[in-house]
Amino acid sequence: MNKYDYLIVGSGLFGAVFAHEALKKNKKCLVIDKRPNIGGNIYTENLDNINVHKYGAHIFHTSNKDIWDYICQFADFNNYINSPIAIYNDELYNLPFNMNTFSKMWDIKTPDEAKTIIEKQKADLHITEPKNLEEQALSLVGTDVYEKLIKGYTQKQWGRPCDELPAFIIKRLPLRFTYDNNYFNDRYQGIPIGGYTKIIKKMLKGADIKLNTDYFDFIKQNKNIANKIVYTGEIDKFFDYKYGALEWRAVRFETEKLNTDNYQGNAVVNYTSADVPFTRIIEHKHFEKSESEVTIISREYSSEWKIGDEPYYPINNDKNNELYKKYGKLASEQKNVIFGGRLGTYKYYDMDKVIASALEIAKNELS
Ligand code: FAD
Ligand code: UDP
């Protein structure tokens, strides 16, 4: 008899939610992760009384009340509202694109004035149906906002020109003609007080956990360890890159402790000019208004990915989406393996979508 009902590969949010649901049904779960910590990309580490988002800043937001209620079982959330600042050369703007941004950019006051300027800039471009991110952005906000706040940032972030990127990436950002700097339109938003790692710890209570353990090494020695595998690693790697490698963007975080209690006055400051090598600076203490005499900042450098690097963002262009379909077909033929999460499904998922998908899969699997 196998020792476990499920071997869960990856202790990120997907693996942890699935494990939690399986444990509630008295299933025996072993969770392995190749990293030295649980939590995947949402792992937070407390340093100098500040919860540092080690693999990138994470703000929880959702419009789905069921998902909000679900995550709130595991933590109290504060009332943090994400309102990033964008710096372009010596100019400073509010994000997302809203009346504060437009009034600063064009020295205007009313929505009508902003709309008139954008419409005039759009009319000169003659874009009828946006085919890529550049056309989508230009037809939403016109040339000025595109040139100053989108073009440089996006090219740094994705390492590709905007006309080679899918339009949906920019549709993530709200565009508003009100004075409202809330980055998200979602009804529910916040940061878990005390960090995300506590959430994952609670979800995994009752599971056996092995860190610093890579699935591909582990399974060679432990072929019959579980009846089923839940795999949240890279899908193409599972099939030994049979059809070629899917492309990702990697991120490098340069984290620094500074002897000041407030470095930039905001959690998120984006640097939108192509000349600045990093995309944004995160000042972690502002997420939870943490009391500390020092501060910790992370500069985010987006970089090209190669096999063996940590994958962060899937590059969902046509070429990669076609390739993913082939791996998806192979995955659906695997009777005893469930593929999930950002890496397992090659999707640019936010946390709420990952939870929803893990719950759906767990429901089908465990009922
Ligand atoms: P992951 O967190 O990547 O977990 C997968 C785990 O599997 C990892 O721990 C990995 O080490 C492990 N693993 C992989 N391969 C193997 C192997 N072979 N053997 C063993 N273990 C393996 N979402 C939001 O909602 N709000 C945000 O503000 C936000 N900010 C983000 C910022 C950045 C920089 C990034 C990259 C993502 C952000 N996201 C945000 C998305 C969020 O990180 C994901 O939705 C979520 O973390 C995905 O969880 P997951 O379990 O699918 O993947
Ligand atoms: N973006 C931009 N300028 C900014 C912030 C974002 O052009 O100052 C674009 C960029 O293409 C980015 C996309 O909007 O990839 C989505 O931004 P988001 O903040 O959602 O990115 P994430 O949090 O996933 O890194």
Average pLDDT of the residues in 264-284: 98
Residue 183 Cβ inside 6 Å of ligand 2? The answer reads: no
Gap from CA of 319 to ligand 1 centroid (Å): 23
Residue 42 Cβ inside 6 Å of ligand 1? The answer reads: yes
Contact by Cβ (8 Å): 257, 294: yes
**Long-range contacts at 112-119 (CB < 8 A, ≥ 24 apart):** 114/177, 115/177, 117/142, 117/144, 118/142, 118/145
How many angstroms separate the CA atoms of 3 and 279, rounded? 46
pLDDT of residue 263 exceeding 90, the answer is: yes
Residue 136 Cβ inside 6 Å of ligand 1? The answer reads: no
pLDDT of residue 124 exceeding 90, the answer is: no
How do residues 243-256 score in pLDDT, each as one tens digit? 999 999 999 999 99
Contact by Cβ (8 Å): 197, 55: no
Average pLDDT of the residues in 328-338: 97
State the pTM of this model.
Answer: 0.97
Q: How confident is the model at residue 2 (pLDDT cuts 50, 70, 90)?
A: confident
Residue nearest to atom 14 of ligand 2 (CA): 170
Share of the chain above pLDDT 90, in %: 98
Provide the annotated active-site residues.
172, 176, 249, 280, 300, 348, 350
- Tell me the Cα Rg of the chain: 22
Ligand closest to 19 (CA) is 1
Q: Which two tokens stand for residue 16?
A: 């942890």
Work out the angle at residue 276's Cα, subtended by the Cα atoms of residues 272 and 279, and round it to the nearest 5 degrees.
Answer: 55
Residue 279 Cβ inside 6 Å of ligand 2? The answer reads: no
Residue 11 Cβ inside 6 Å of ligand 1? The answer reads: yes
The closest-lying atom of ligand 1 relative to the alpha carbon of residue 213 is 20
Residues 6 or more apart whose Cβ sits within 8 Å of residue 302: 156, 157, 158, 159, 249, 250, 251, 279
Residue 214 Cβ inside 6 Å of ligand 1? The answer reads: yes
The closest-lying atom of ligand 1 relative to the alpha carbon of residue 354 is 45
The pLDDT value recorded for residue 1 is 60
How do residues 335-362 score in pLDDT, each as one tens digit? 999 999 999 999 999 999 999 999 999 9
Average pLDDT of the residues in 161-175: 92
Candidate from 234, 235, 342 with most ligand 1 atoms within 8 A of CB, to mutate = 342
